[in-house]
Amino acid sequence: MARKVIDEPSEEIVADARVARESKRGPFARVSLFIKQVLAELRKVVTPTRKELLSYTGVVLIFVVIMMALVSALDWVFALVVTYVFGTPS
């Protein structure tokens, strides 16, 4: 036989209570809550090892060099097209 749970609040009630509770907090309580949440998130951060850090840095630098080459090549091609279409300035 399925049992009906009456004591559990619905999602609307929980959302309304959360909004009401947040509106009653003063500015210092809100700042304090924010700082507590930031510190809790910072505790979850995992710092990479030296080997991982050097690997990630290398990948980023190689990607940046490739993108610079691509943008430079496109800039050169567009400059040639503009020079061809409009001619050289005299």
Residue identified by tokens 């991982």 is 52
pLDDT at site 24 = 76
What's the burial of 62, exposed, middle or buried (CB within 10 Å: 0-12/13-18/19+)?
exposed
3-class DSSP state of 2: coil
- Percentage above 70 pLDDT, the chain: 83
Which residue type is seen at 42?
L
pLDDT at site 54 = 97
Tell me the whole-structure pTM to 2 decimals. Answer: 0.53
- Any residues with CB less than 8 A from the CB of 17 and at least 6 apart, and which? 9
Q: pLDDT category, 8, cuts 50, 70, 90? A: low
Q: pLDDT category, 2, cuts 50, 70, 90? A: low
